[in-house]
Amino acid sequence: MLGGTADARALASLLHAAGAVFISSLAGRTAAPLMPEGEVRIGGFGGVAGLRDYVRAEGIGVIADCTHPFAAMISANAYAAAGETGARYVRLERPAWEPVAGDKWLRVPCIGAAADALLPGSRVLLTTGVKDLPAFFSRPDIGGVARMIGEPSVAVPPDWRLVQERPPFSVDAELALMRDEKISVLVTKNAGGIARQKLDAARELGVQVVMVSRPVKAGREVAESAEAMFAILKAGN
Ligand SMILES: NC(=O)c1ccc[n+]([C@@H]2O[C@H](COP(=O)([O-])OP(=O)(O)OC[C@H]3O[C@@H](n4cnc5c(N)ncnc54)[C@H](OP(=O)(O)O)[C@@H]3O)[C@@H](O)[C@H]2O)c1
């Protein structure tokens, strides 16, 4: 199971409780990751070839891809490795968020487009993750709050404040943060799932949302939840 998400941890708990034989894999990006139940390995495989060799060496029959919707490289590698080894490839992908009445969304195709879309003087709540900081920090005409779990590898400009916190965040906390920091734009990836609090807060305050669309991933078998994925794996066909 390729993990690094709450959905992957939920699936690991279900599999563990059912006595299934499985190995969770984490990229090893965060210093203190939340650990799933059961056996865990940590670190990259070394591209498609490395993953293919790992699948063969461990006698893996199913690659359950439960990575984040924006982790495009590992999913592409997993799909290719499955093709090369004959392992079954199943993906867990929670439904994307859709706007509701009152939302002010601008959909953009990628992080670069999100940074380009921001008007000079914008006060931004940036929630897209450490990898994406340079695209925004290189704009001298914007500032705000960058929220993330990991450590940034770039210097934080004076107009930006860093918040290193792990979700979930309540709607009240999101409202307070947006109000206190005079946020005018929320920049977020369309991670999907139930954690819509920042979107609810943005709607209430009339804050513009720049929503980065998901990359397209391969694979025919897709489950929308840990429970649905568990049912697919349990059925085993
Ligand atoms: N991207 C996000 O917004 C986001 C948000 C929350 C959590 N995550 C989690 O963080 C991890 C890294 O995300 P990313 O966007 O940096 O991935 P990525 O760009 O798709 O993958 C980059 C490389 O990291 C390694 N890798 C990624 N996930 C792995 C896993 N579960 N087990 C072993 N190696 C893995 C692979 O290295 P090799 O080529 O060497 O095998 C992969 O080629 C993922 O597991 C993902 O579920 C990502």
- Give the per-residue pLDDT at 69: 97
Report which protein residue has its CA nearest ligand 1's atom 23. 74
Task: Divide the 237 residues of the chain into consecutive groups of 10 and give the mean pLDDT of each group.
Answer: 97 98 95 94 98 98 98 98 98 97 98 98 96 96 96 95 94 98 98 94 98 97 97 90
Please name which of 60, 103, 63, 101 lies closest in space to residue 80, comparing C-alpha atoms: 63
Question: How much distance in Å is there from the Cα of 166 to the middle of ligand 1?
Answer: 18
Cα of 123 from ligand 1 centre, angstroms: 29
The CATH class, in words, for 105-212 is: alpha beta
Secondary structure of residue 51 in the 3-state scheme: helix
**Ligand 1 center to 71 CA (angstroms):** 5
Q: Supply the pLDDT for residue 194.
A: 84
Closest approach atom of ligand 1 to CA 8:
47
Pocket of ligand 1 contains residue 129 by CB under 6 Å = yes
pLDDT at 237: 62
Q: What is the pLDDT of residue 150?
A: 87
Residue 96 CA to ligand 1 center (angstroms) comes to 19
Long-range contacts of 136-139 (CB under 8 A, 24+ apart): 136/160, 136/187, 139/115
CATH architecture of the domain 6-95+216-235 equals 3-Layer(aba) Sandwich (3.40)
* Gap from CA of 92 to ligand 1 centroid (Å): 15
Regarding the beta carbon of 87 and ligand 1, being less than 6 Å apart is answered no
Tokens describing residue 64: 């359950």
Q: Is 132 in the pocket of ligand 1 (CB under 6 A)?
A: no
Q: What residue spans define the domains of the chain?
A: 6-95+216-235, 105-212
